[in-house]
Amino acid sequence: MTGQKGADSNVKQEIIEKINKIVFLKIKTLIVRNLKKEDVSEFEQVVKNGNSNLLLAFAHKKFPDLSTKIYKEMKLLGQKFSQPAYV
């Protein structure tokens, strides 16, 4: 029983990690799609730095409405998870 619970917990953890990966990929895509030509050089510098916090801070500075767009993306994702197949 404990083994079953453990396996169940591991799968859930993997799923949470996967969701977070998808979330981050979608956020990265939104950042790129919102880039203007004049932002590309700064964007490349931030990417070169390899720091995800810096990237997100850059995105918030450059695209104040990004949160709303991300929220919409996440809402769609949330709705997908709550489809009857999973309930």
Q: How many residues does the chain have?
A: 87
* Cα three-residue angle 77-81-87, rounded to 5 degrees: 160
3 state DSSP class of 58: helix
The CB-of-2 to other proteins minimum distance in angstroms stands at 14
By CB under 8 A, is residue 6 in contact with other proteins?
no
By CB under 8 A, is residue 49 in contact with other proteins?
yes
In the DSSP assignment, the letter for residue 83 is S
Positions that interact with other proteins (CB under 8 A):
4, 7-8, 11-12, 14-29, 32-33, 35, 40, 43-44, 47-58, 60-61, 64, 66-67, 70-71, 74-82, 85-87
